[in-house]
């Protein structure tokens, strides 16, 4: 997995609450059996004025000029500023894949839906929670200043604005560790294979109906 | 030992390792796999040279992409007209064959929507931890199990290690007291709950649904409620085990038998919250207050009683919420203050992991019987949740009731709930849908979804607009 330590990047807005995973990446693109290539269809229904199709070349599609990601000032953005309950809805990991593939490294919001939040960490994407009032302030500053950038320092757990104001954020220690070092979860868990086997053999005794039941 | 909630018990029983930082390794008993969220996980296993830890814990079936017309289903996988969908379903078949995973393939009579197939086959049992790469996995919590959706990286993680890295959630109790009025169903209950606590109300929680209303509810109804826990923000919803649970499980294909059954039942009887167990949040609703619900907006919390009107954004004090309501009204083509009964329907969809079990099909058929679909409704489709549900409904003659009324009777799959196959809404079309999400574009580009119960959807299909099913059947 890609590691995340510290980034400084242009901020783009997704200025509405309850952005759901259907909005982040509509279902027709979930038919892909790959992990990559979803960036061009990120926010497809908001970004384009026509209906997107899988495997389509998006270069000639009509763009929605009102959508921030289509505006010159937000090009190259790597930080997405969002509202409450970002990523609600389905468990599709295609949502963080699309954000990552587009070029986002960090999403800042007052709150995230649980599954989406969890999925981000598996893909080197940092979902960062800041208080609602702070997010409101960042929105105001971003709209007021073209090319607005934020520095996100995961090691020190802080976000710094261009004026030097610093906001601390909380993050689970284990997730931070994995993200900073780009660690593969599976490899770490398999280091505990003995503990898993011990648990399993105890369960085979106490609840044998949980094993070997599903047959063709 | 201190009094524990049902969730506490399920968590404790599956804890492999607690870490100092608060995260834990929990053991997964059952892993259900479908075609959309698994290909990248299998590919990951291959690239790392790993094998599934315990193949007998996995059951697979394609559901999201499968066509639901008899014509397209006639020749199995090869008959899928959409070439991209075909590849995905074929990939699941290939992966299951390669790794030795039991799969109910497209035309296996046991094939169906993962969350219908799991409990129906007895693959999902009380006391289990159950995961699937789909957020509606919470459906299985109705069995008194800890069930929740996971992303594709976690699908790979569970395949490779039989465990998940997790952090314990908080406990929420949603209690519905008293009794439901006639014509009020499990779907109305869960929509009313979401309307009350909001789509983020359960974020960070596991919800236990308790109270007289759930005790009196069938397993199918409990599954409908747990299914939509995620629409209230909670990854997991569950209902304590009682006789209804045990009766449901008994005799199912993969359920234990004989002496093992007796041992299992004894263990399952403890799957209730202890007297005095601590819940971080308690929400209470009165069953008598719940009316048939209809969603008017683009979030499942945007819901009102069938006899109400579309709410006024101007009365909302929270600015972000107000803007959301205004945007929803624009998308839905509705006006504030408009009676719900004035909303005309273009299509009706009865199906999805929320409402495609035999009880749902029966409820819809009871409303439709002897009546005709409104001329103005372009299409009303009934999509059973599995081949076994379909067979049962046909044995009861329910398919004929629908067909005589002008409804379509389809092959099992997720269908128009998320419109990954050919079943979808056209732009601007209003749909009375028994599914779980009314997000923008969910059922088709520009489509307008109204979430309702099967009986309400059926009644709307006959009348051409929303009607109070309680009045309608009289």
User: Are B202 and B278 within one domain?
Assistant: yes
Query: Domain A6-182 is classified in which CATH homologous superfamily?
Result: Aconitase, domain 4 (3.20.19.10)
3-state secondary structure of B181: coil
Average pLDDT over all residues of chain B = 97
Quote the CA–CA distance of B362 and B360 in Å, as a whole number. Answer: 5
H-only helix segments in A130-172: 132-144
**pLDDT tens digits for range B412-454:** 999 999 999 999 999 999 999 999 999 999 999 999 999 999 9
- Asked whether the beta carbons of residue A92 and residue B37 sit closer than 8 angstroms, the reply is yes
| Nearest CB neighbour to A33, from listed B87, B203, B327 | B87
| Nearest CB neighbour to A215, from listed B22, B57, B102 | B102
User: Are B226 and B156 within one domain?
Assistant: no
- For residue A187, what pLDDT is reported? 93
- For residue B22, what pLDDT is reported? 86
Percent of residues, chain A, with pLDDT higher than 70: 100
User: Are B274 and B202 within one domain?
Assistant: yes
User: Are B269 and B203 within one domain?
Assistant: yes
Tell me if B414 is assigned to some domain. yes
User: Are B81 and B108 within one domain?
Assistant: yes
Residue B323 has pLDDT above 80, yes or no: yes
- Asked whether the beta carbons of residue A31 and residue B327 sit closer than 8 angstroms, the reply is no
User: Are B274 and B347 within one domain?
Assistant: no
H-only helix segments in B152-199: 152-161, 186-197
User: Are B183 and B161 within one domain?
Assistant: no
Residue B125 has pLDDT above 80, yes or no: yes
User: Are B306 and B443 within one domain?
Assistant: yes
**pLDDT tens digits for range A147-183:** 999 999 999 999 999 999 999 999 999 999 999 999 9
Residue B57 has pLDDT above 90, yes or no: yes
- For residue B457, what pLDDT is reported? 98
**pLDDT tens digits for range B334-389:** 999 999 999 999 999 999 999 999 999 999 999 999 999 999 999 999 999 999 99
Using a CB-CB distance cutoff of 8 angstroms, which residues of chain A are in contact with residue B203?
85, 111, 113-114
- The confidence band for A1, taking pLDDT boundaries of 50, 70 and 90, is confident
For range B220-226, the mean pLDDT: 98
Tell me if B252 is assigned to some domain. no
Query: How much of chain B is helix, strand and coil, in % rounded to 5?
Result: 40, 20, 45
User: Are B118 and B211 within one domain?
Assistant: no
- Asked whether the beta carbons of residue B256 and residue A213 sit closer than 8 angstroms, the reply is yes
CATH number (domain holding residue B175):
3.40.1060.10
CATH number (domain holding residue B55):
3.30.499.10
Interface with B, mutate which of A30, A31, A208, A212 (most B CBs under 10 A): A31
- For residue B118, what pLDDT is reported? 98
- For residue B69, what pLDDT is reported? 96
User: Are B229 and B310 within one domain?
Assistant: no
Calculate the alpha carbon distances from B330 to A23, B77, B153, B448 in Å.
16, 40, 37, 11
Percent of residues, chain B, with pLDDT higher than 90: 98
Tell me if B250 is assigned to some domain. no
Tell me if B256 is assigned to some domain. no
For range A52-80, the mean pLDDT: 97
User: Are B172 and B160 within one domain?
Assistant: no
Number of domains in chain B: 3
- For residue B67, what pLDDT is reported? 97
User: Are B416 and B324 within one domain?
Assistant: yes
E strands, B211-341, in order: 236-238, 281-286, 293-295, 303-305
- The confidence band for B474, taking pLDDT boundaries of 50, 70 and 90, is confident
Using a CB-CB distance cutoff of 8 angstroms, which residues of chain A are in contact with residue B256?
209, 213
3-state secondary structure of A102: helix
- The confidence band for A196, taking pLDDT boundaries of 50, 70 and 90, is very high
- The confidence band for A184, taking pLDDT boundaries of 50, 70 and 90, is confident
Domain closes at, from B250, B274, B289: B289
For range B285-305, the mean pLDDT: 98
Q: Which domain holds residue B233?
A: 168-239+263-289
Quote the CA–CA distance of B380 and B370 in Å, as a whole number. Answer: 16
Kindly report the number of other CB atoms within 10 A of residue B257's CB atom.
11
Domain closes at, from B149, B166, B183: B166
């Amino acid at each position: 997995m890609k590691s995340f330590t510290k980034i400084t990047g242009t901020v783009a807005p997704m200025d509405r609450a309850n952005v759901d995973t259907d909005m982040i990446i509509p279902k027709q693109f979930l038919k892909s059996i790959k992990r990559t290539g979803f960036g061009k269809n990120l926010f497809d229904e908001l970004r384009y004025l026509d209906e997107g199709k899988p495997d389509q070349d998006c270069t000639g599609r009509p763009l929605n000029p009102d959508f921030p990601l289509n505006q010159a000032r937000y090009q190259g953005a790597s930080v997405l500023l969002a509202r409450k309950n970002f990523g609600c809805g389905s468990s599709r990991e295609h949502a963080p894949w699309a954000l990552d593939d587009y070029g986002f490294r960090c999403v800042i919001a007052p709150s995230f839906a649980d599954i989406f939040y969890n999925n981000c960490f598996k893909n080197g994407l940092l979902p960062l929670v800041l208080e609602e009032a702070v997010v409101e302030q960042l929105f105001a500053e971003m709209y007021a200043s073209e090319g607005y950038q934020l520095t996100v320092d995961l090691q020190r757990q802080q976000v710094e604005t261009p004026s030097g104001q610093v906001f601390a954020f909380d993050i689970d220690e284990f997730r931070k560790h994995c993200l900073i070092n780009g660690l593969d979860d599976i490899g770490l868990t398999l280091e505990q294979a003995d503990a898993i086997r011990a648990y399993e053999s105890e369960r085979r005794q106490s609840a044998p109906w949980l094993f070997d039941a599903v047959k063709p | 030992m201190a009094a524990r909630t049902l969730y506490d018990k399920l968590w404790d029983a599956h804890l492999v390792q607690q870490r100092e930082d608060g995260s834990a390794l929990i053991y997964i008993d059952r892993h259900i796999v479908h075609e959309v969220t698994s290909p990248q996980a299998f590919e990951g296993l291959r690239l790392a040279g790993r094998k599934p830890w315990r193949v007998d814990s996995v059951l697979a079936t394609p559901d999201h992409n499968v066509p639901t017309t008899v014509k397209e289903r006639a020749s199995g996988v090869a008959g899928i007209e959409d070439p991209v969908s075909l590849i995905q379903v074929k990939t699941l078949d290939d992966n299951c064959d390669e790794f030795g995973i039991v799969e109910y393939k497209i035309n296996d009579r046991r094939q169906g929507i993962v969350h219908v197939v799991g409990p129906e086959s007895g693959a999902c049992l009380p006391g289990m931890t159950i995961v699937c790469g789909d957020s509606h996995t919470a459906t299985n919590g109705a069995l008194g199990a800890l069930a929740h959706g996971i992303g594709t990286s976690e699908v790979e993680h569970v395949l490779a290690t039989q465990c998940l890295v997790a952090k314990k959630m908080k406990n929420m109790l949603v209690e519905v007291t008293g009794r439901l009025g006639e014509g009020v169903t499990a779907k109305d209950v869960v929509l009313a709950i979401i309307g009350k606590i909001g789509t983020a109300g359960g974020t960070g929680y596991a919800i236990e649904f308790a109270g007289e209303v759930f005790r009196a509810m069938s397993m199918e109804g409990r599954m409908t409620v747990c299914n939509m826990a995620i629409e209230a923000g909670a990854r997991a919803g569950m209902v304590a085990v009682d006789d209804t649970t045990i009766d449901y499980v008994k005799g199912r294909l993969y359920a234990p038998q004989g002496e093992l059954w007796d041992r299992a039942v004894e263990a399952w009887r403890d799957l209730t919250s202890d007297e005095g167990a601590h819940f971080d949040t308690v929400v209470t609703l009165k069953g008598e207050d719940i009316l048939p619900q209809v969603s008017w907006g683009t979030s499942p919390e945007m819901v009102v009683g069938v006899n109400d009107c579309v709410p006024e954004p101007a009365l909302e004090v929270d600015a972000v919420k107000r803007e959301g309501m205004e945007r929803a009204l624009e998308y839905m083509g509705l006006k504030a203050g408009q009676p719900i009964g004035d909303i005309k329907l273009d299509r009706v969809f009865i199906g999805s992991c929320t409402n495609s079990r035999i009880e749902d099909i029966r409820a819809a058929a009871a409303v439709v019987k002897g009546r005709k679909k409104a001329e103005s409704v372009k299409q009303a489709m009934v999509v059973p949740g599995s081949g076994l549900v379909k067979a049962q409904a046909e044995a009861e003659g329910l398919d004929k009731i629908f067909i005589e009324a002008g409804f379509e009777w389809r092959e099992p799959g997720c269908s128009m709930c998320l419109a990954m196959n050919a079943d979808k809404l056209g732009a601007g079309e209003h749909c009375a849908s028994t599914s779980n999400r009314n997000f923008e574009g969910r059922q088709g580009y520009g489509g307008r979804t109204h979430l309702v119960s099967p009986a309400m959807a059926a009644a709307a299909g006959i009348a051409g607009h929303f009607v109070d099913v309680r009045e309608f059947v009289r």
